[in-house]
Amino acid sequence: MGDTIWIENEKILCGISENGARIISLKMKEYGYDRIKPNLSDIKEQVDLVGCTSVGGGNLAVDGEDFDKKLFKLRTADKKNKIKNGETMSLSFECKSARGYVLEKRYTFKGNSYRIGLQILSGSLDGKSISVGWKCGITESEFFKASATQYSNAYVNEQRKIHILMEKTSNTCNKKNRKKMKKQDSINGQPLRRNISWWRSLPTA
């Protein structure tokens, strides 16, 4: 069984399980279930956007291999982390695939921001189909029901090549970003290190 790693800024409190390196809790520190008189000092009152903890968010599959139940190990940071406005912190998790290559999931957080970045890093993603998603849905509250749409971004960075993919999603955001990468072994004789990045921007008031 893996541990849960926590990271907190002025806006959110996020829990990432080492099982699958999935986001299993995402608390909104400024919004409560009681819209009229929320007791935001009570963590149970803060809206948790993860609708299904057992599924979580930041889901990953590579060429049909599901990484959501694989045990990742935290490479950096502590089990509890807090960042302030103007600061940036990344949490890196690694595991070995069934095919023997090492894969890294790296989450990036900024102080005073709802934005969460997810990078998929490996030297062995050449020609593979990458699926990144938010399968757990988003828990609705009165505030979030008023938010019409959200956006998520994914891009593939192949050293000199950058491909942008933007998907407009509904409020429940239960879709996947997919990118089929072309076969290419090197640029100017240097091996490629594939870097798949996915950003999730949460609605703001």
Q: Which of 55, 3, 54, 8 is nearest to 27 (CA)?
A: 8
H or E element in which residue 144 lies:
helix 142-145
pLDDT tens, residue by residue, 51-94: 889 999 999 999 999 999 999 999 977 999 999 999 999 999 99
What's the confidence (pLDDT) of residue 202?
Answer: 54
What's the confidence (pLDDT) of residue 34?
Answer: 87
DSSP secondary structure letters along 167-194: EEE-TT---EEEEEPPP--EETTEEP-E
CA distance 134 to 132: 7
What's the confidence (pLDDT) of residue 37?
Answer: 87
Q: Residue 134: how many CB atoms within 10 A of its CB?
A: 27
Read off the pTM: 0.72
Q: Would you place residue 35 in the very low, low, confident or very high pLDDT band (cuts 50, 70, 90)?
A: confident
Residues 6+ apart with CB under 8 A from 196: 119, 120, 121, 125, 130, 132, 154, 155, 156, 157, 179
CA distance 128 to 142: 41
pLDDT tens, residue by residue, 82-131: 999 999 999 999 999 999 999 999 999 999 999 999 999 999 998 999 99
Query: Could you give the C-alpha distances from 24 to 131, 181, 190, 194, in angstroms and in order?
Result: 18, 29, 38, 26
What's the confidence (pLDDT) of residue 78?
Answer: 92
> What are the beta bridge partners of residue 199?
117, 153
